[in-house]
Every structure is written in structure tokens, then in C-alpha cells.
Amino acid sequence: MKCEICGKEYAGYNGFSQHVSRHLPHQEYYDQYLKTEEEGYCKHCGKPTNFKSLKLGYADFCPTTCAVQYSNTHQSEDQKRDRAAKVRQTDLDKYGVENVFQIDSIKETCKNSIL
């Protein structure tokens, strides 16, 4: 890691962060030299987020609320998929075709392995 202000190189993060704080507060250094354009805004609602550290940068979401809402959105998509899978399973149970075949083939395998 290299200090963008004086050019001093650091192998470890701890030495680097201590060094940077001699020039500027971490957030100011981060804003000037490390921050990307889309960083620092909530991925859910677009409001500015909190600065975490020189290493981690800005939070991806507003504290608690948006992170939870964002993960709920993704979870509900998974749940939809689960429900679709269950409907398919119910059809199989109704007709039972595939299940019967499976049981027969398992029995067959057992017989063969005993003999």
C-alpha cells in the first residue's frame, strides 16, 4: 500500500493506516484518493452511507434497515423458486409414477448386491 500524499510504501495495512492519519483523517484520505464514483451510497435506496474504515471504505447500505430490506428482496426470489419446486413435487406425488420406478430400481439394486 502506497501513501498517495508522500509516496511512502507500506507492506501492511496497520502501518499504512497509522501513516495516513498523520496527513489526513482516514475518511478524507479515502474520499480524495481511494473512493470510486458509485461508492458511499446505499445500494438499496441511494442515500449516502457511513464510512467504515480506510481498508473497508463505505458501507454498502444504510445501517440495519436497507441491508435487511435488500436481503429480504433476494430471499423472496429464492422462496418463489422453492414454491415452484414444491408444486412440481406435488404433481409427482399425485401420479406417483416416478416414485414407483425409483423404489423398484432401489429394490433391484439391493437384491443384486446381496446375491
- How many C-beta neighbours within 10 Å does residue 69 have? 13
Which one among 16, 29, 30, 42 touches Zn ion, defined by CB under 5 A? 42
Nearer of residues 22 and 88 to Zn ion, judged by Cβ: 22
Amino acid at 47: K
Q: Which of 10, 48, 15 is nearest to 31 (CA)?
A: 48
Q: Is 40 one of the binding residues for Zn ion (CB under 5 A)?
A: no
Are 28 and 21 a contacting pair, CB within 8 Å? no
Query: Among 42-50, 52-60, 76-84, 85-93, which window interacts with Zn ion (CB under 5 A)?
Result: 42-50
Q: Using CA atoms, how far apart are residues 105 and 30, in angstroms rounded to an integer?
A: 64
| Three-state DSSP state, 48 | strand
Q: Is 44 in the site for Zn ion (CB under 5 A)?
A: yes
The site map against Zn ion for 54-93 (x = CB under 5 A) is --------x---x---------------------------
Residues near Zn ion (CB under 5 A): 3, 5-6, 8, 42, 44-45, 47, 62, 66
